[in-house]
């Protein structure tokens, strides 16, 4: 099949690369020339394991074409995926400017009947509005072209995106016409060879499904973080509680880890957008509003622990921070806890030395410039330990899991560790003379 993917971010690039791996001819279109030029030379704008080799081999075979010229792409394809960003608007709703701009680009350049599939996460009813928008422009242009619409939300996880895309748990397709379901089932059949994982439904339910998946996962995290805070004030250990409840099959072990708050490009904005959708339809959601509130407070938990230990004035103290990405396996720092913790400590006079295996550049681009003078970035994890007054672990990259604590003991000013992801063992560290502060235990 010949496919256009509009938007070459985490979703568009991964989707395009995976479709092309299966032998489809894929045009990946973006409006950022620099990004497309880089991609033509196999320079990726993001870090995602295995993506580089996939892009390179598909380009070499001629199955993956990068372009800023949407007309070139639409002339040669009849399935168009929209995978542009839907960031949070000021009022918490989803900003659909990129979606409608992509829709206009399609309408103004399309020359043959095509299927338009929205892969971006969009509020209920967007598919309908996009179809109307495209049809209005086609009418103004006296075009005879007909378009069909579908919703096909993406469930990939950054850091595991290729694996998730090639072996999806399920493929949700929302459409109105039987032929549309058949076309998309054909396209995805190579990804679900061992058993049928299609979930077919109407477009609105498909749009809603994506938000509900993210809201459910965010709720599990915030619920467990709230339990962690209750454990702390009562003397229970949330790690034991987690094991105790996870063994119940109805609950399960996934997404019940306490920590220092969720971030990323999806959970915070999608929970907010779902709240906004509910409110604009006259329903006031109660649980969702508190999922966000708990998370906002949880991003301050490490700061509060530092202040409890060192006092409100942190002048003269240096903190080593391990992990800037919102989670391991990605360079994405959107809504990352590191942004909150580091800026709050600097406001109180602290100096920061920071290390992340992948996300340093993105972090420098994202954090307010006013904080940069107080942060020293390192290329290796041990470089920042010597002379620090405490280590703060924010992102649980594997290389942080079993470090040389004897080196820490020899070189740190004070043997203090704040473990924001509960990856260290209290007994071991206490035996080595460290103070260890964790979440909920």
Ligand X SMILES: NC(=O)c1ccc[n+]([C@@H]2O[C@H](COP(=O)([O-])OP(=O)(O)OC[C@H]3O[C@@H](n4cnc5c(N)ncnc54)[C@H](O)[C@@H]3O)[C@@H](O)[C@H]2O)c1
Interacting residues toward ligand X by CB under 6 A: 6-12, 29-32, 35, 83-86, 98, 101-102, 105, 120-121, 154, 156, 158, 265-266
The Cα 97–Cα 92 span in angstroms is: 14
Q: How far is the CB of 266 from ligand X (least distance, A)?
A: 5
Element (H, E) at 279: helix 267-280
Q: How far is the CB of 61 from ligand X (least distance, A)?
A: 23
Q: Nearest residue to ligand X, using CB?
A: 9
Residue 88 or 354 having the CB closest to ligand X:
88
Query: Does residue 266 have an active-site annotation?
Result: yes
Residue 324 or 390 having the CB closest to ligand X:
324
Residue 239 or 295 having the CB closest to ligand X:
295
Residue 81's SS3 state is: strand
Q: Provide the b/e sequence for 239-270 (b: ≥16 CB within 10 Å).
A: bebbeeeeeeeeeeeeebbbbbbbbbbbbbbb
Residue 84 or 180 having the CB closest to ligand X:
84
Residue 30 or 356 having the CB closest to ligand X:
30
Q: How far is the CB of 102 from ligand X (least distance, A)?
A: 4
DSSP for residue 363: H
Q: What angle, 0 to 180 degrees and rounded to 10, lies between the N-to-C axes of helices 126-140 and 203-234?
A: 140
Q: Provide the b/e sequence for 161-191 (b: ≥16 CB within 10 Å).
A: bbebbbebeebbbbbeeeebbebbeebbeeb
Q: How far is the CB of 233 from ligand X (least distance, A)?
A: 34
Q: How far is the CB of 97 from ligand X (least distance, A)?
A: 8
Residue in the structure block whose two tokens are 């306490």: 258
Q: Which of 18, 28, 165, 266 is catalytic?
A: 266
The Cα 371–Cα 322 span in angstroms is: 17
The Cα 69–Cα 33 span in angstroms is: 10
Residues recognised as catalytic? 266
């Amino acid at each position: 099949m010949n496919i256009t993917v509009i938007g070459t971010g985490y979703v568009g690039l991964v989707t395009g690369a995976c479709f092309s791996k299966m032998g489809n001819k894929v045009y990946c279109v973006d409006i950022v020339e620099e990004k497309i030029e880089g991609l033509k030379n196999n320079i990726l704008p993001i870090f995602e394991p295995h993506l580089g080799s996939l892009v390179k081999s598909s380009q070499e075979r001629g199955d993956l074409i990068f372009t800023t010229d949407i007309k070139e792409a639409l002339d040669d394809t009849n399935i168009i995926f929209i995978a542009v960003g839907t960031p949070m608007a000021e009022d918490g709703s989803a900003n659909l400017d990129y979606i409608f701009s992509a829709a206009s680009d399609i309408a103004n350049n399309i020359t043959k009947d095509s299927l338009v599939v929205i892969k971006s996460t969009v509020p209920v009813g967007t598919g309908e509005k996009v179809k109307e928008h495209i049809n209005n422009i086609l009418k103004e242009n006296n075009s005879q072209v007909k378009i069909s619409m579908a919703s096909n939300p993406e469930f990939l996880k950054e850091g595991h995106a290729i694996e998730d895309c090639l072996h999806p748990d399920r493929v949700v397709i929302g459409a109105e016409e039987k032929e549309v379901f058949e076309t998309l089932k054909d396209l995805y059949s190579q990804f679900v060879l061992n058993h049928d994982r299609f979930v077919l439904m109407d477009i609105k339910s498909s749009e809603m499904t994506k938000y509900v998946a993210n809201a459910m996962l965010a709720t599990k995290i915030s619920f467990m973080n709230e339990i962690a805070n209750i454990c702390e004030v009562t003397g229970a250990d949330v790690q034991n509680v987690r094991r105790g409840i996870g063994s119940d099959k109805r609950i399960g072990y996934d997404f019940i880890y306490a920590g220092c708050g969720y971030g990323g490009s999806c959970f915070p904005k999608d929970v907010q957008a779902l709240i906004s959708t509910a409110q604009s339809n006259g329903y006031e959601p109660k649980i969702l509003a508190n999922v966000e509130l708990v998370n906002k407070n949880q991003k301050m938990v490490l700061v509060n622990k530092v202040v409890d230990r060192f006092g409100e004035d942190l002048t003269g103290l240096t903190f080593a921070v391990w992990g800037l990405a919102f989670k391991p396996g990605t360079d994405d720092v959107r809504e990352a806890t590191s942004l909150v913790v580091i800026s709050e400590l600097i406001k109180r006079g602290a100096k920061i030395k920071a290390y992340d295996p992948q996300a340093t550049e993105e972090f420098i681009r994202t954090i307010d410039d006013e904080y940069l003078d107080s942060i020293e970035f390192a290329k290796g994890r041990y470089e920042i330990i010597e002379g620090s007054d405490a280590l703060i672990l924010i992102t649980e990259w594997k290389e942080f899991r079993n470090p040389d604590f004897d080196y820490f003991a020899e070189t740190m000013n004070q043997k203090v560790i704040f473990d924001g992801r509960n990856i260290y063992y209290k007994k071991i560290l206490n035996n080595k003379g460290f103070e260890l502060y964790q979440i909920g235990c």
